[in-house]
């Protein structure tokens, strides 16, 4: 895991957006995995800014969102489809037909979940999956106890998640109890995972994810098994990490490597 610790939410947003922009430069027809929630909003704002000011082109990009509440149609103000339209899709030049969010109103859940997995496969798989993390350590709506091999399916939300998300609905009673979510296994198949976290409420979940054991009780910890994971966090969310200093040293070395400053890394010194 590459752990990047930055001073504040602004810096986290800019850094996360940079990973997306770099991918789009290399692969204009890339497949992005997107997340909802408050965490990725800053990164979306930065991408919108670059679209407006520098013409960042989303016209060939395909997107797949992680999850959707069951029972909410696409135009419901709290549906994740609506969230994505308002906060991202309507403000860039992505082709709406290339954007995918699970269907919260499909009653044949098994079929629609299978279809979602099939669409991801047909698009060639996800190149970069953006992830937030729940205070209970969930990624997407893979609540504690979810199989680490799980695929897109129906999931019951924990009371902790319902409490966390009540702020968007006005009251806990209005938060749907069920969601359709990509599974942990689905997420692990993305070529790269970009996990973002901001604020001290995420510090325990981040510590357990990065430095704890791999366990279905903290589904984000399954990311330790993935080949390419980037964790971008602010100081507050990184606060409980024991190996903070080492992660900073790795980033420093990475920066020197990217700049081709081999002497500063001691390469060639002993020749
Ligand atoms: P948040 O949600 O970004 O609103 O904190 C993250 C999550 O629950 O996955």
Between strands 153-156 and 178-181, the pairing is antiparallel
Q: Is residue 173 part of a domain?
A: yes
Q: Is the beta carbon of 133 within 6 A of some atom in ligand 1? A: yes
Catalytic residue among 103, 117, 136, 164: 136
For the chain, the domain total comes to 1
Classify residue 251: in a domain, yes or no. no
Kindly state if the Cβ of 38 falls inside 6 Å of ligand 1: yes
Distance 262 CA to ligand 1 centre (A): 39
| Residue 111 within any structural domain of the chain | yes
Predicted structure pTM score: 0.95
The answer, yes or no, to whether residue 118 has pLDDT greater than 80, is yes
Which atom, in ligand 1's list, is nearest to the CA of 196?
Answer: 3
In a domain? residue 32: yes
Instruction: Please report where in the chains the tokens 């957006």 appear, as a residue.
Output: 17
Is 252 a member of any domain?
no
Does the annotation mark 103 as catalytic? no
Block residue for tokens 């991918």: 23
Could you tell me what percent of the chain has a pLDDT over 90?
93
For the stretch 133-154, pLDDT in tens is 999 999 999 999 999 999 999 9
Q: Is residue 21 part of a domain?
A: yes
Provide the CATH number for the domain around residue 32. Answer: 3.40.50.1360
Question: Does the residue 160 lie in any domain?
Answer: yes
DSSP character string of 2-32: EEEEESSHHHHHHHHHHHHHHHHHH-TT-EE
> 53-76: per-residue pLDDT in tens?
999 999 999 999 999 999 999 999
Tell me if 92 sits within 8 A of 58, measured CB to CB: yes
Q: What distance in Å separates the CA atoms of residue 247 and residue 54, rounded to the nearest whole number?
A: 32
pLDDT at residue 271 above 70? no
Contact 196, 43 (CB under 8 A): yes
Domain span at residue 201?
2-240
Residue 39 lies in a domain: yes
Backbone phi and psi for residue 215, each to the nearest 5 degrees, phi listed first: -150, 145
């Amino acid at each position: 895991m590459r752990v990047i610790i930055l001073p504040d939410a602004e810096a986290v947003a800019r850094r996360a957006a940079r990973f997306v922009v770099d991918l789009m430069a290399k692969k204009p027809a890339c497949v992005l995995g997107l997340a909802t929630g408050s965490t990725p909003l800053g990164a979306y704002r930065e991408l919108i800014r670059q679209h407006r000011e520098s013409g960042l082109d989303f016209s060939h990009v395909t997107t797949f969102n992680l999850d959707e509440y069951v029972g909410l149609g696409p135009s419901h103000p709290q549906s994740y489809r609506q969230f994505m339209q308002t906060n991202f899709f309507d403000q860039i030049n992505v082709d709406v037909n290339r954007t995918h969010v699970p269907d919260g109103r499909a009653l044949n859940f098994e079929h629609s979940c299978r279809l979602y997995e099939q669409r991801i496969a047909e698009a060639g798989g996800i190149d970069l999956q953006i992830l937030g993390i729940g205070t209970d350590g969930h990624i997407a709506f893979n609540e504690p106890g979810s199989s680490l091999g799980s695929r897109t399916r129906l999931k019951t939300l924990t009371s902790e998640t319902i409490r966390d998300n009540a702020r968007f609905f006005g009251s806990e009673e209005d938060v749907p109890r069920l969601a359709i979510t990509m599974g942990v296994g689905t997420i692990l198949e993305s070529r790269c995972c970009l996990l973002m976290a901001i604020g001290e409420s995420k510090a325990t979940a981040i510590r357990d994810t990065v430095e704890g054991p791999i366990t279905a009780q903290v589904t984000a910890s399954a990311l330790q098994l993935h080949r390419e994971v980037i964790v971008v966090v602010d100081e507050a969310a990184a606060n409980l990490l024991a190996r903070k200093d080492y992660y900073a040293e790795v980033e420093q070395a990475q920066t020197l490597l990217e700049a081709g400053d081999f002497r500063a890394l001691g390469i060639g010194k002993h020749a």
